[in-house]
Amino acid sequence: GVELESDDWVGAFRNDVCIGSRQWDTSECGGGICDVPAMGNDGSNDTSEYMLPGENPIFKIYDVSKDIL
């Protein structure tokens, strides 16, 4: 129920780690529907904080006009 503007961002988080984000500009998204990537753990140290199978990310909105998350 949150209205987004084209300069707002949606981020996917695992705990406090941002594992993907997308600017919510539906004119730039495929068919007017935006996706948000959620990067996964591939077993390397660089991805140790990323998603594991069966986990669900938490999505947060950054409202640019209000400068709030």
Q: 12-53, pLDDT tens digit by residue?
A: 999 999 999 999 999 988 888 899 999 999 999 999 999 999
In whole angstroms, how far apart are CA 6 and each of 12, 23, 54, 58? 18, 7, 31, 21
Q: What is the pTM of this model?
A: 0.85
- The confidence score (pLDDT) of residue 36 equals 95
At 32 the pLDDT is 86
Q: What is the DSSP letter of 9?
A: E
Using CA atoms, how far apart are residues 36 and 32, in angstroms rounded to an integer? 13
* Whole-number pLDDT of residue 61: 95
